[in-house]
Amino acid sequence: MLNLFEMNTVGHITHGLWRQPGNNRSRYADLSYWIELATLAEQGGFDTIFLADVLGAYDVYQGSAEVALREGIQIPNNDPMLLIPAMAAVTEHLGFGVTFSTSYEPPFAFARRMSTLDHLTNGRVGWNVVTSYLPNAARNFGLTDQIPHDERYEIADEFLDVVYKLWEGSWDDDAVVGDSVTGVYTDPSKVRAINHVGEHFRVAGPHLSEPSPQRTPVIFQATGSKVGIELAGRHAEVIFTGGRAPGDAARNVAAIRAANERNGRLATDTKFVVQAAVIVGRTDAEVAEKLERYRRFTSVQGTFVQQSIPFDPLLHPADITVREALEREGLFDLIEAGGLPLNMAVGQFAASLDQAWQKHFFVAGTPKVVVDEIERWLAEENIDGINLRQYHSFETLRDFVELVVPELRRRGLVSTSRPAGETLRERLFGAGPRLPGRHLAARYRGGANLDVPPPPFTH
Ligand SMILES: Cc1cc2nc3c(=O)[nH]c(=O)nc-3n(C[C@H](O)[C@H](O)[C@H](O)COP(=O)(O)O)c2cc1C
């Protein structure tokens, strides 16, 4: 599975690189950027463009959003859903995985927007379920602070329950008659309210959209925590996983497959992808030039911002420990809280953050070297594909399409068959546009079980 990792913003995860000559990232607010990107991804046989999103500014590092704003780190940042119809209009097969948080906006209007996208894309849309991690996002939606982690996942589970009722249970497949002779557009006996009354949401229904090709979009999630894995086992069809050490991804894959089975699903009902840093060149010299250029433009502070590092490693001599630096800044509660490597030298801590992305899936080389590494990950970490990190738009995607995709195809690592009208779910799983009957969402089909609570979410 080939995904392109994107965000409707200048600086997504490769901080500082928007400044490179010829980089198109500052055109992110221009529709032509997305049309060009989607066209190229489709030519290269990508399965999806995956659109990340956050609902607040990164304001933990240095106690303000100043560095994030100055360096364009995920701010400014526009709504990802609104890009999809334009990209769908210039493509036939490409899917779109879009991020939406279950923590702040109630589910009814989102369910309708997603159904609209599923109609307009002819069933090529997926939803990346997130619960949001930025404290500023909580304050943007009227809260004083973050909802605790596990509680966010309980809310997510109920949110999913509500949207399944709307997508799967509110309208029957044959509700729309569209008979101009009798004047009946919809048979009212085949549409129903959902009357959901839960701990977090109350939604009457009926759903406002008629059934779309997939009904429920393909459910994506990125997780690693215990409660997140339980949520994934109940719901997710595509998981972003990773880890720092060899075997981490494979362990996550096994844990989520086991969670699937606890929830009456098949281990193979979920596909797994890792974020991949791929730097490819026609020659070793071209690879070296790219590496040198990316290093030169990379902003170290950008990494501190995105990781919400609660103190400033650059303010201190490199050889004092993190503990000493925190003491100097008076941040005694952070020493108590743990989580930071207190005995590591500050300089080493900063360097480790800067280089953290190289500890994940990272490969720089000519096409054969790159595809060998992709093949190794697929086999050893038991994954199904990658989510390609971008260093330069459109250099990263164009070079991947020109140099890597032909070799992936030669080795049979990506599928080349593209039946007309195929939905994203069919493309990934082959078995039809709708979720299989063993998925939780299916219990509401035909209006069944709307007043019967789902099995409890235990974690
Ligand atoms: C590849 C990838 C993409 C992610 N994209 C987003 C995103 O766009 N928005 C967001 O709020 N969180 C995003 N996350 C964070 C996850 O939703 C989640 O918070 C994180 O993986 C921690 O998992 P946990 O909640 O199980 O501890 C992403 C994580 C990964 C690995």
Residue located nearest, by CA, to atom 30 of ligand 1: 222
Closest atom, ligand 1, to C-alpha of 149: 25
pLDDT at 355: 74
Omega of the bond leading into 206 within 30 degrees of 0 (cis):
yes
Q: Examine the pLDDT at 274 and tell me if it is beyond 70.
A: yes
User: Are the C-beta atoms of residues 313 and 304 closer than 8 Å to each other?
Assistant: yes
Residue located nearest, by CA, to atom 14 of ligand 1: 222
Interval 321-337 mean pLDDT: 90
pLDDT at 244: 76
pLDDT at 459: 86
* Domains of the chain, start order: 2-296+358-447 (3.20.20.30), 300-354 (no CATH)
pLDDT at 336: 86
CB atoms closer than 10 angstroms to residue 49: 26
- State pLDDT tens for residues 113-156: 999 999 999 999 999 999 999 999 999 999 999 999 999 999 99
Interval 435-454 mean pLDDT: 97
pLDDT at 360: 80
pLDDT at 21: 95
Reported as a pLDDT band with limits 50, 70 and 90, residue 246 is confident
- Cα–Cα distance measured from residue 446 to residue 443, given in angstroms and rounded to the nearest whole number: 9
Q: What are 7's strand-pairing partners?
A: 52
pLDDT at 358: 67
Omega of the bond leading into 394 within 30 degrees of 0 (cis):
yes
Ligand 1 centre from 261 Cα, in Å? 23
Average pLDDT, whole number, for the chain?
Answer: 95
CB atoms closer than 10 angstroms to residue 312: 17
Of the candidates 229, 300, 221, which has an alpha carbon nearest to the alpha carbon of residue 260? 229
Q: What percent of the chain has pLDDT over 70?
A: 99
Q: Examine the pLDDT at 357 and tell me if it is beyond 70.
A: no
Q: Examine the pLDDT at 183 and tell me if it is beyond 90.
A: yes
Ligand 1 centre from 224 Cα, in Å? 9
Ligand 1 centre from 130 Cα, in Å? 6
Ligand 1 is surrounded, with C-beta below 6 A, by: 52-54, 99, 130, 132-133, 222-225, 228, 240, 242, 275, 387
Reported as a pLDDT band with limits 50, 70 and 90, residue 388 is very high
- State pLDDT tens for residues 209-238: 999 999 999 999 999 999 999 999 999 999
- Cα–Cα distance measured from residue 391 to residue 295, given in angstroms and rounded to the nearest whole number: 10
Q: Examine the pLDDT at 432 and tell me if it is beyond 80.
A: yes
Interval 327-342 mean pLDDT: 87
Ligand 1 centre from 239 Cα, in Å? 10
Closest atom, ligand 1, to C-alpha of 101: 11
Q: Examine the pLDDT at 453 and tell me if it is beyond 70.
A: yes
| 251-285 exposure pattern, b = at least 16 Cβ within 10 A, e = fewer | ebbebbbebbeebebeeebbbbbbbbbbbbbeeee
Q: Examine the pLDDT at 15 and tell me if it is beyond 80.
A: yes
Closest atom, ligand 1, to C-alpha of 99: 8
